[in-house]
Chains A and B, each alone.
Chain A
């Protein structure tokens, strides 16, 4: 039997146009408005990264990723948030996921200074966490601007016949 009034932390990644991200305060207000009017309590919203997209999205080759963590009591509101995002002209893509596996320390690592201390403190006492619990392997990217530094695909088993018929077997 699921507990009623169980609050759950969600993670949201928004892909927005870099031009819109230039007026950062307006954008944060816009995203925060979408979340709060559906009953979410925001843990933090941050500019995660600005990078070249792997493929064009709405005719854009570059985009800014905005990462948000929020606390939501009513899980049905997730659908509402997704719909509001798809109707928004500023948000190009949205990915909403449960983030229960992230501790508050993980969120702090990913949000940096943009975390809201009072909400974080409340979550920590609710969950009975200490500051030392860190599971996340990804922190907020530190490089500012420029091309993203992607490593060459390495690994122990480098494909030998990338384009040949042979490779299609595996």
Chain B
């Protein structure tokens, strides 16, 4: 299998200096903030991977927790 060129990889997943929450010094991701959570899921409601969301490990865990709480309260879909 041919190796993908490094240039193409850079275009698809650009490296960011910081994750979107670190940039704004967010300490806690709230499950009520559906507008933010909406940006972290696909159109089917599946959560984006760290690679795709660009989140740091800590904020990805926080976001996953918030999303699961929002799903339980029917603020966000489990599937769609």
Enumerate chain A interface residues (CB-CB to B < 8 A): 13, 15, 48, 53-55, 57, 63, 65, 67, 93, 95, 97, 101, 110, 135-138, 148, 150-151, 153-157, 159, 162, 167, 170
Specify which of A13, A63, A155, A162 lies most central, judged by the most chain B CB atoms within 10 Å of its CB: A155
B43–A159 contact, CB under 8 A?
yes
* Range of interface residues on B (Cβ < 8 Å): 35 or more
User: Given the complex, which residues of A lie within 8 Å of B39, measured CB to CB?
Assistant: 151, 153-155
Residue on B with the closest CB to A168?
Answer: B46
Residue on B with the closest CB to A163?
Answer: B44
Complex partner residue of B52 from A13, A53, A154, A159, CB under 8 angstroms: A159
Complex: A93 Cα to B33 Cα, angstroms: 18
Complex partner residue of A157 from B26, B36, B54, CB under 8 angstroms: B54
Enumerate chain B interface residues (CB-CB to A < 8 A): 13-14, 26-28, 30-36, 38-44, 48-49, 51-54, 69, 71-78, 80
Specify which of B13, B39, B54, B76 lies most central, judged by the most chain A CB atoms within 10 Å of its CB: B39
7 A-B interface contacts by CB (under 8 A): A65-B73, A135-B27, A137-B30, A150-B34, A155-B39, A159-B42, A170-B52
Complex: A151 Cα to B33 Cα, angstroms: 12
User: Given the complex, which residues of A lie within 8 Å of B74, measured CB to CB?
Assistant: 15, 53-55, 57, 63, 93
Complex: A61 Cα to B52 Cα, angstroms: 32
Complex: A84 Cα to B14 Cα, angstroms: 50
Q: With A63-B74, A65-B73 in contact, is A136–B52 under 8 Å at CB?
A: no
Residue on A with the closest CB to B12?
Answer: A157
